[in-house]
Structures are given as structure tokens and as C-alpha cells.
Amino acid sequence: MTEKLRVLLLEDRDVDADLIRIELKRAGFQADVTRVITEAEFRAALEPGYDLILSDYALPQFSGLAALAILQESGLDLPFILVSGTIGEEAAVEAMQTGASDYLIKDRLGRLGNSIRQTLEKKRLQDENRIFTDTLRLRNRAIEASLNAVIITDARHPDHAIEYVNPAFERITGYAARDVIGRNCRFLQGNDRNQAPLQQVRAALRHHQEGKAVLRNYRKDGSVFWNDLLIAPVRNDQREVTHFVGIVNDITEIINYQQQLERQANYDGLTGLANRNLLHDRMRQGIAYAQRRSRQLALLFIDLDNFKLVNDSLGHEAGDRLLREAGLRLKDQMREDDTVARLGGDEFVVALFDIEDDEVVLNAMQRIIAEMTRPFSIGGRDLYVTCSIGVSLYPKDGEDGITLLRNADTAMYRAKEQGRNGFHFYTSDMNDRAVERLLLETRLRSALERNEFSLAYQPVIDLQTGKICSMEALARWNNPVDGEVPPARFIPIAEETGLILPIGDWVLNTACAQVKAWLDAGLPAVRVAVNLSARQFNRERLVQSITRALANSGLDPGLLELELTESLLMQNADTVVETLRTLKAMGIGLSIDDFGTGYSSLSYLRQFPVDRLKIDRSFVQDIDKDSGSALIVNAVTSLGRSLELKVVAEGVETAEQMHFVRERGCHESQGFLFCRPLTAADMGALLKKGIDAKALTAA
Ligand code: C2E
Ligand code: CA
Ligand code: CA
């Protein structure tokens, strides 16, 4: 059996070189020998492919020790054996100390084989050892750097004492290594020692097996964390279990996330109330129960009346706080067994289960309305938010949750139509009304081409002079099926469908053209006010529409005024200011309509370049009944005056109201007392004749 060997031989004498070759063969090596003599040759030949270097000690211009130095410099890790005829003991020791693997006297060349074998074996062990230490170091590092906590316990210790924990363990649990070494791991469970998954851990320890469990563990500060634990036995060469390794994966975030997902599936994130999902679940159960026992069930659909206004004028944060507070109040009013849910937006649903008579429902509604009417204190203000409630009953109004919900919703709309802050029971003819609305929408779509619109004009009276100072253009829709449809019915549909854009353009064009026609006919110049919806308030489009209406008619921009609602202005107060400035720069008048119904911020109001405030009709009409309304008229008038705006009182129907508003300082007034909205022809006639309300305004 021969061993292959690649040898680099540094030897100047041919005889010695031959002797070495022979000895190698004799010792059983199949050696591939490369022989070099000079330093240059040695340097050139040096490469990692050799198994070893044999070098003469003394050379003519070079030496074995110099060769050894060159080898070390090169960084190659090759065994180096010195062979010499003359080497003394001291030189030999020096050679070994500087790193030679062995040395041989030429006379005793017979030892060469053994020397080589020992040298190679030593090298192999060294290599192995290095690999082993490297690997160990690497694994140690990995454990130290691991994100998972690692615990090593002594399996032969009676209490499985901890021998080692890594830094991640310290980070996750808050315990320092020195606090826990020598202890049993059970302190991680705190007092929570009855968790079912602990059985798996105990069994694995007992049977010397791997085990897995998700445990509730406690950090040093007492806070809980979820531990996805893996334990595995470690055996020695005799297959005895000496240790257990525990890998702790902190999955608290994952568990929290799962719990949150579950909550999200069933609960409303903002208010913590049940969501639509859970509501339907509860209704299914409730209906099944009511069916077995022949009981009733009521669904109250609740919508906050002024929510959008709050959201638009005070911002979403205030809106959110209002919703949370409203949710709390609802919850407080209900029995534990009832379900209070939020469907989104400002829509809440209360499901009352197992009710004996309508009395219970009526009581619940009265409580809700009373609760919602109490002011909400948000951001330092008292907000008044009424609500409208629609009610449907099982089994009368529907056999399943979806139908009941839809019908309660319909009833809620009915309550809203009837003036808000009230409730309405579902009746089967309500669906007919929903269908009717749909038909109205269809007819509205073709109303423009069929020329079904017209404008009515209502004069505005100067309270000092008693003369007409302007007029408001009001849209009228007359169609063959419905006859006169009041704007309060079709304007909201037009806004929802976007039809308000072409309709609004038509109103602008018609009003401008009409006033110009009156001027051309020699009638006095009277300003016309046109109402704008929020949908129309897109700067570019709006400016374009107005420019076109003015150009088409040839009307002086000073004779046009736009009426904007408070909520429109507050929606995007910043961009609105710019648009208003643009319009103002065109010479157009601006007024704020229905003032007092929104929550205008005074600081914004100052920035709006408006000319007029129109006090909402509802306040004027309640002046005599309600001291609150009188206060508002007072406040708005003095506010308007302090901002140097003209104040207009809308909806003046009686002489008392007129006197009241004039005494408080309102400049102008509009209302049935002076004149109802007129057709264009009648308005033309009135302009010609001139109105003289002196008699009215005098007293
Ligand atoms: P508004 O802008 O507040 O218009 C004044 C409303 O008050 C008119 O109702 C008018 O007829 C009514 N009114 C005037 N004086 C009195 C009074 O003494 N007593 C009572 N009870 N009412 C009075 P109308 O014409 O039914 O319009 C209702 C609303 O429809 C308007 O309220 C306005 O918001 C909207 N609207 C009307 N035309 C247009 C339009 O061309 N575009 C837009 N976007 N909205 C319009
Ligand atoms: Ca108006
Ligand atoms: Ca108004």
C-alpha cells in the first residue's frame, strides 16, 4: 500500500536528493518530488498544493532556516522538515522553535518515513482542532446573537438548574443571567402554574423528548409575554441526557395581533361597540329565541342629525370624540343583554331582545333621545347633537336581520324628513316612498332637457329704506308627473347624483340673463343672489361657470351675489378662502347662507371675504317662542356688525319679527311678510312698480 505525497525538496547535492527519493519509496510513499536549489527557485515553486517541504540545512547561497522564514512569510501552512548532515543540537532546537515540524540527520535517513507520518498526523489533528474551535466559536456567537432566548439546563441536577442563558433571554425577560443561573425555569410562569400547555413541557422533561408549547410567561417587571417554547434534550457520547436546551420565541406581538384581528372582526375600532358582523350574529340568535318563545324583538336605527356638520367644521378628531361619547351614552342607557352596535359613520343600532310590549321600546327611545339632546362637551365647546331613530319590530316588520335592519333604516329616514330629533316606526308603505324617491331621481335626470326648471325670485328689503335692495333666485321644478317638487326634495337628490352641476350652471345662466334682460328693458338694477351647493365649489370649474354666465349675459359682476352655506365654507376652510378671494376679485358679492346652523370658527370667519350673513330662518321664526333663538339673532347681528358685514334676517313672516330684527341691528330682511318668491314675470312687474314697504317698516 503506497501513499501519494507531493514533496517540495530543497537540496543542492544530487546524491542526497537521490537518497531521499529512494528512502521515500522504501518507506512506502509514491512521492512526486519537485527539487529546487536556489532561493529564487524555492520562491517560485512555493504553493499550497504540496503535502510537505524537505529542506537541507546548509546550502551554498541559501539556508534551510532562511527557507523556513520565507515559508512563514508566505502564510502557507505546510509542514517543514529539516534534513542535514551537520546540524548540531542547538541549531536543531532553534529550528524547531522557529516552526520546523521535525529535523533529521542524513546518516539516519531511515527515520524519514516515520517523521513524515508523524508530522502529517500532527498537522491533521491541528487542522481538525482548528475547525472544531472555529465551529464552536461560530455556534457560540450564533447563540449569543440569536433573537430567540436560549436556556440550557442541567438535566442531571435534581431541579434542572439553569446553566446558561443568552443575551436575548435577558432582553426578553428582563432577568440578568446572574439572577437566574442555578434556578429552575418555573419562575417564568409566576403564579400562573395551571396553564394546560405546561403538561407538554413536563412530559418532555420526564421522557427525555423534544417538546413544544405556547406559554404565558412573566417578565421581571411582572408584564406578560407569550412564549413559544421549544425544548430538546442534549445527549453525551454515552447517549445519556445531560442537558436540555430551551428556545424561547417571544410571540407576544403575534398573539396581540391575532386578538386584535378577532376584535376587529366583531367590534368597531372607534367606539368599541359591536360592529355589523356581531350585530347580525346576535340578531340571528335573538330571532331564533324570539321565534321559540313567540317574543318580539326591536331594532332601533339611530342617526346623529348634525354629525356631518361637526365633522366638517370642527375636524375629524372632534367628530371621533363625539361618536365615542355618543356610543358610551347609548351603551349606558341599555340593558346588559341588549346589543349596541355602530355600523359606521354616525349610524348606530340598538337591538332590544325579548320585549314584552311596545312600552319597552318607547321608553328606550325616549331615554336615547333625552341622552343625545344633552350637550356634548368636546374641545371646550358644548355641541348640540340631536338624533333621529327608526324602529322595526320582529316579526311584524321582517323575519330576518337584514330585512329588519333595512326597514329600521327606512323608518329613520322618515324620522329625519319629519324634522329630526324624533323617532318613527316602520310601516310597510315606507318602501313605496323609497321607490318614489328613485323614480324622482330618474325624472330629475331628464328635467333639464325637458325644460322643467324655472326660477322664482324673492325680493330682499332694506330695513332702513323699505325698498328692494336685492333678490334671491330660487330653483323651481315642475314636471308632468309630480307637479311642483319643492327644492328641499330635489336639491339633495341633485347633490347626491352630481346633477347639481348642470342644474347649478343653468340657474347661474338663467339668473344672469334675466337680470340683464330687466336692465335692458329699462328696469332698475337690482342684484341677484344665487345659491351654491358644496358640490359646485370646485375653484376652477366654478370660476369658469361664472365667467361664462357673465359673458353670455353681459351682466356686470357687481350685480351677482353667491350664497354659500356655513358648512361648505368650513369643510375646506383653507382652500375655500383662496377661491373666495378669486371670486371677490372678479367683483362678485358673497354671502353666508343659513348662518347659525353651523359651527363657524370666528377666526376663519374673519378671513372669509364675505359681504353678508343671512341669519337662518329657524331662528327668526322662533324669536317669540324661544329665548335661545332671540339670543342667537342678537349674537349673530352684533358679530356681523363687528366684522362690518351686512346682516340679513331670513324668513320674516310677522311684523313682530321684523321689528325685533330691525331693533337688533339687522340691515336687510327677506320673508313672506314682504313678499313670497315670484315668477320672473311677476318679479319684472314688481320691479317696474317698485315695492314700498315703508308702511311696514315704519311703525
Ligand atoms: P334658502 O337658500 O334658505 O332659501 C330661502 C328659502 O326660504 C326658500 O325656500 C324660500 O321660499 C323660503 N322662505 C323665504 N321667506 C320665507 C318665510 O317668510 N317663511 C318661510 N317659511 N319660508 C321662507 P325654497 O325656495 O323652498 O328653497 C329651499 C332651499 O332650497 C333653499 O333654502 C336653498 O337651500 C335650496 N335651493 C333653492 N334653489 C336652489 C338653487 O338654485 N341651488 C341650490 N344649490 N340650492 C337651492
Ligand atoms: Ca339662500
Ligand atoms: Ca337661507
Residues 29-73 pLDDT 10s: 999 999 999 999 999 999 999 999 999 988 888 889 999 999 999
CB distance 552 to 512 below 8 Å: yes
Q: What is the pLDDT of residue 1?
A: 57
Distance 359 CA to ligand 1 centre (A): 39
Identify the residues whose C-beta falls under 6 Å from ligand 1: 458, 474-475, 486-488, 491, 504, 507, 531-533, 563, 593-594, 617, 651-653, 670-672, 677
Is it the case that residue 109 has pLDDT exceeding 70? yes
Distance 126 CA to ligand 3 centre (A): 98
Three cell numbers, residue 443: 325624472
Nearest CA to ligand 1 atom 34: 531
Q: What is the pLDDT of residue 476?
A: 97
Atom of ligand 1 lying closest to residue 507 CA: 41
Q: What is the pLDDT of residue 695?
A: 66
Measured between alpha carbons, how far is residue 57 from residues 81, 96, 99 in Å? 10, 12, 14
Nearest CA to ligand 1 atom 30: 487
Nearest CA to ligand 1 atom 7: 651
What is the mean predicted confidence (pLDDT) over 241-255?
90
What is the mean predicted confidence (pLDDT) over 325-334?
93
Measured between alpha carbons, how far is residue 422 from residues 64, 367, 375, 546, 597 in Å? 111, 12, 17, 40, 18
Q: What is the pLDDT of residue 603?
A: 65
CB distance 484 to 502 below 8 Å: no
Looking at 36-158, list the stretches that DSSP marks H as alpha helix, in order from N- to C-terminal side.
39-45, 64-74, 89-98, 112-145
Nearest CA to ligand 1 atom 43: 531
Which runs of E-coded beta strand occur in 541-580?
560-565
CB distance 426 to 408 below 8 Å: yes
Angle at Cα 588 formed by Cα 648 and Cα 487, nearest 5°?
60
Chain centre to alpha carbon of residue 154:
48
Helix, strand or coil for residue 649? strand
Atom of ligand 1 lying closest to residue 500 CA: 44
Q: Lowest mean pLDDT: which of 11-15, 188-192, 256-260, 298-302?
A: 256-260
Distance 442 CA to ligand 2 centre (A): 26
Nearest CA to ligand 1 atom 35: 487
Q: How far apart are CA 632 and CA 628, in angstroms?
A: 6
What is the mean predicted confidence (pLDDT) over 198-221?
92
Is it the case that residue 166 has pLDDT exceeding 70? yes
Averaging pLDDT over each range in 205-209, 228-232, 408-412, 515-519, which range is the top one?
A: 515-519
Q: Lowest mean pLDDT: which of 85-89, 456-460, 486-490?
A: 85-89
Mind listing the pLDDT tens digit for each residue in 584-624? Answer: 999 999 999 988 776 666 667 788 899 999 999 988 988 88
Residues 6+ apart with CB under 8 A from 349: 279, 299, 300, 301, 302, 339, 340, 341, 342, 343, 405, 408
Q: Lowest mean pLDDT: which of 271-275, 621-625, 651-655?
A: 621-625
Mind listing the pLDDT tens digit for each residue in 397-418? Answer: 999 999 999 999 999 988 887 7
State the helix-helix crossing angle for 627-642 and 655-664, rounded to 10 degrees: 40
Nearest CA to ligand 1 atom 13: 651
Is it the case that residue 163 has pLDDT exceeding 90? yes
Q: What is the pLDDT of residue 258?
A: 77
DSSP assignment, residue 101?
A: S
Q: How far apart are CA 395 and CA 391, in angstroms?
A: 13
Distance 484 CA to ligand 1 centre (A): 14
Of 476, 478, 531, which is best to mutate to test ligand 1, by the most ligand atoms within 8 angstroms of its C-beta?
531
Distance 286 CA to ligand 3 centre (A): 46
The number of the ligand nearest the C-alpha atom of 654 reads 1
Helix, strand or coil for residue 468? strand
The number of the ligand nearest the C-alpha atom of 670 reads 1
Q: What is the pLDDT of residue 602?
A: 63
Q: What is the pLDDT of residue 348?
A: 97
What is the mean predicted confidence (pLDDT) over 671-698?
87
- Give buried/exposed letters for 667-683 (b at 16+ CB in 10 A, else e): bbbbbebbbebbebeeb
Q: How far apart are CA 621 and CA 672, in angstroms?
A: 11
Atom of ligand 1 lying closest to residue 673 CA: 18
Q: What is the pLDDT of residue 699?
A: 52
Atom of ligand 1 lying closest to residue 456 CA: 25
Mind listing the pLDDT tens digit for each residue in 340-388? Answer: 999 988 999 999 998 887 788 888 988 998 898 888 888 888 887 889 9
Residues 6+ apart with CB under 8 A from 216: 189, 192, 195, 224, 226, 227
The number of the ligand nearest the C-alpha atom of 486 reads 1
Q: What is the pLDDT of residue 24?
A: 93
Distance 651 CA to ligand 1 centre (A): 9
Distance 474 CA to ligand 1 centre (A): 6
596 phi/psi in degrees, rounded to 5: 110, -15
Q: What is the pLDDT of residue 575?
A: 80
Q: What is the pLDDT of residue 233?
A: 94
Distance 373 CA to ligand 1 centre (A): 27
The number of the ligand nearest the C-alpha atom of 661 reads 1
Helix and strand counts by DSSP (H, E) for the chain:
26, 26
Q: What is the pLDDT of residue 600?
A: 61
Is it the case that residue 28 has pLDDT exceeding 70? yes
The number of the ligand nearest the C-alpha atom of 508 reads 1
Residue with cell 308627473: 481
What is the mean predicted confidence (pLDDT) over 192-210?
90
Distance 486 CA to ligand 1 centre (A): 9
Cis, peptide link before residue 395, omega less than 30° from 0: yes
- Give buried/exposed letters for 492-517 (b at 16+ CB in 10 A, else e): ebbbeeebbbebbbbbbbbbbebbbe
Nearest CA to ligand 1 atom 24: 487
Q: What is the pLDDT of residue 610?
A: 94
Of 474, 478, 497, 617, which is best to mutate to test ligand 1, by the most ligand atoms within 8 angstroms of its C-beta?
474
Helix, strand or coil for residue 170? helix
Q: What is the pLDDT of residue 221?
A: 94
Q: What is the pLDDT of residue 510?
A: 98
Nearest to 633 by CA among 608, 651, 610: 651
Q: Lowest mean pLDDT: which of 394-398, 492-496, 559-563?
A: 492-496
Q: What is the pLDDT of residue 147?
A: 86
Nearest to 388 by CA among 306, 299, 496, 276: 306
Percent of the chain with pLDDT over 70: 97
What is the mean predicted confidence (pLDDT) over 539-544?
91
Instruction: Report if pTM > 0.75.
Output: no
The number of the ligand nearest the C-alpha atom of 594 reads 3
Nearest CA to ligand 1 atom 11: 677
Q: What is the pLDDT of residue 324?
A: 95
What is the mean predicted confidence (pLDDT) over 567-594?
87
